[in-house]
């Protein structure tokens, strides 16, 4: 089970690997550009070469990219929708250039048009990009969300509908964020509720679609629909849910990445990853 964390690309995209190595990451998540800006600095050949060399040197993988928070492929307003589609296409191409297999995205917000309309709008954008082959084989991972405001993705039914509307199964997957899941109302704190939640995800979407986890505790209570991450075991979810998750054989090969608060020295990342690894139980011998 590859554990890792989201790493900064400050000073150059290749520098994320050394930062990940510093805290013992086996996998990492990055932004391929400044996530708070629409424009992106071009990737030069030396940037790509350095990125690949550092990945080879550290052995860290897979690398997962996260799309900009500015994007809204569910927007009813044409200008924002078109701008978001173009920017997302650019991010997909950056992933393909760097050899990054997964790009995580929030499913967007309908901003008043309604859930059905928002999901259709999202699917239209994805279908256009996939039909044009944008991003090559890069897989888009729809992230479960907390459900703040008019954000989509906080119900498994939303994800299921997108899979119905986007007939490119090889280009689409799911990223499960534990904080978002909990804030959206899905309880995973006990063996019974954990089993029920993932049985529902399996029924509606299929567990084979889950390609990545974001492991974050929650500052807010179950069903709050507020996205506030906390350190593992220090929030309202608690340690037991993470014990169940890291020992679930169905997810043994899936990258589990923390997005918990951190300082410049990243000692918090080291503590969270150490705790998660300590929860993994040795397999029982027959």
Helix axes 78-98, 115-131, angle to 10 degrees: 40
Given the residues 6, 26, 54, 66, select the one marked as catalytic: 66
Tell me, yes or no, if 106 is annotated catalytic: yes
Active-site hit among 19, 94, 106, 155: 106
Residue 90 annotated as catalytic:
no
| Model pLDDT, residue 283 | 66
> What pLDDT is stored for residue 285 in this prediction?
52
| Angstrom distance (rounded) from CA 69 to CA 27 | 22
Answer whether residue 249 is part of any domain: yes
What distance lies between CA 106 and its chain's CA centroid? Answer: 8
Q: How deeply is 47 buried, as exposed, middle or buried, from its count of CB atoms within 10 A (0-12, 13-18, 19+)?
A: middle
180 is catalytic: yes
> What pLDDT score does 39 carry?
86
Closest CA to 73 of 179, 153, 7: 153
Segments forming the whole domain that contains residue 44: 3-278
Four-point Cα dihedral 66, 163, 165, 31, nearest 10: 0
Catalytic residue, from 229, 231, 243, 269: name it.
229
* Cis check: omega of the bond before 62, within 30 degrees of 0: yes
Residue 214 domain flag? yes
Strand segments (E) across the chain: 3-6, 27-30, 63-66, 102-105, 139-143, 172-177, 210-215, 217-218, 229-230, 256-258
Q: Which of 46, 57, 69, 137 is flagged as catalytic? A: 69
From the candidates 6, 180, 211, 231, give the one annotated as an active-site residue. 180
Is 110 a residue of the active site?
no
Q: Is 227 part of the annotated catalytic residue set? A: yes
Which CATH number characterizes residue 160's domain?
Answer: 3.20.20.150
Which residue of the set 110, 171, 214, 231 is catalytic?
A: 214
To the nearest 10 degrees (0 to 180), the angle between helices 156-165 and 115-131 is: 40
Angstrom distance (rounded) from CA 8 to CA 66 = 12
Contacts of residue 114, Cβ cutoff 8 Å, sequence gap at least 6: none
Instruction: Count how many domains the chain has.
Output: 1
Whether residue 80 is contained in a domain is answered as yes
Catalytic residue from among 227, 231, 243, 269: 227
**pLDDT value of position 1:** 83
Instruction: Answer yes or no: is 284 within a domain.
Output: no
Q: Is residue 286 part of a domain?
A: no
Q: Which of 177, 211, 217, 243 is catalytic?
A: 177
Over the chain (286 residues), the average pLDDT of each successive run of 10 is: 96 97 98 90 95 98 96 97 97 98 97 97 98 98 97 98 97 98 98 98 98 98 98 98 98 98 95 98 64
Q: Is 154 a catalytic residue?
A: no
Question: Which residue spans within 83-200 are E strands per DSSP?
Answer: 102-105, 139-143, 172-177
Domain assignment present for residue 283? The answer is no
Rounded Cα distance between 232 and 253, Å, is 20
Does residue 285 fall inside a structural domain?
A: no
**163: how many CB neighbours lie within 10 A of its CB?**
19
Q: What is the pLDDT of residue 36?
A: 86
> What pairs with residue 176 in β-bridges?
213
69 noted as active-site residue: yes
CA distance 46 to 28: 21
Residues 110 and 150: beta-carbon distance below 8 Å: yes
Catalytic residue among 36, 44, 132, 285: 36
Of the candidates 16, 1, 5, 2, which has an alpha carbon nearest to the alpha carbon of residue 270? 5
Provide the pLDDT for residue 101: 98
Q: Is residue 77 part of a domain?
A: yes
Does 158 participate in catalysis according to the annotation? no
- CA nearest to 129, candidates 103, 169, 90, 175: 90
Active site residue 186: no
């Amino acid at each position: 089970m590859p554990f890792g964390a989201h790493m900064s690309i400050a000073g150059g995209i290749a520098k994320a690997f050394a930062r990940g190595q510093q805290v013992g990451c086996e996998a990492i998540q990055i932004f391929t550009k400044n996530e708070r800006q629409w424009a992106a600095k071009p990737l030069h050949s030396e940037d790509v070469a350095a990125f690949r060399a550092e990945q080879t040197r550290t052995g860290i993988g897979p690398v997962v990219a996260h799309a900009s928070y500015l994007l809204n492929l569910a927007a009813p307003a044409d200008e924002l929708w078109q701008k978001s589609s173009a920017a997302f296409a650019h991010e997909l191409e950056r992933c393909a250039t760097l050899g990054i297999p997964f790009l995580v995205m929030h499913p967007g917000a309908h901003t008043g048009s309604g859930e059905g309309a928002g999901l259709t709008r999202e699917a239209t954008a994805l279908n256009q990009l996939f039909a044009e082959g944008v991003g090559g084989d890069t897989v888009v991972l729809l992230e479960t969300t907390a459900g703040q405001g008019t954000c989509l993705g906080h119900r498994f039914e939303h994800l299921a509908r997108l899979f119905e509307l986007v007939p490119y199964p090889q280009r689409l997957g799911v990223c499960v964020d534990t904080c978002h899941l909990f804030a959206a109302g899905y309880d995973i704190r006990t063996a019974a509720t954990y089993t029920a939640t993932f049985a529902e995800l399996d029924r509606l979407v299929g567990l084979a679609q889950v390609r990545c986890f974001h492991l974050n505790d929650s500052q807010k209570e179950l069903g709050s629909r507020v996205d506030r991450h906390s350190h593992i075991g220090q929030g309202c979810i608690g340690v037991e849910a993470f014990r169940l998750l890291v020992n679930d054989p169905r997810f043994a090969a899936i990258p589990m990445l923390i997005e918990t608060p951190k300082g410049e020295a990243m000692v918090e990342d080291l503590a969270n990853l150490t705790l998660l690894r300590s929860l993994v139980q040795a397999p029982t011998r027959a």
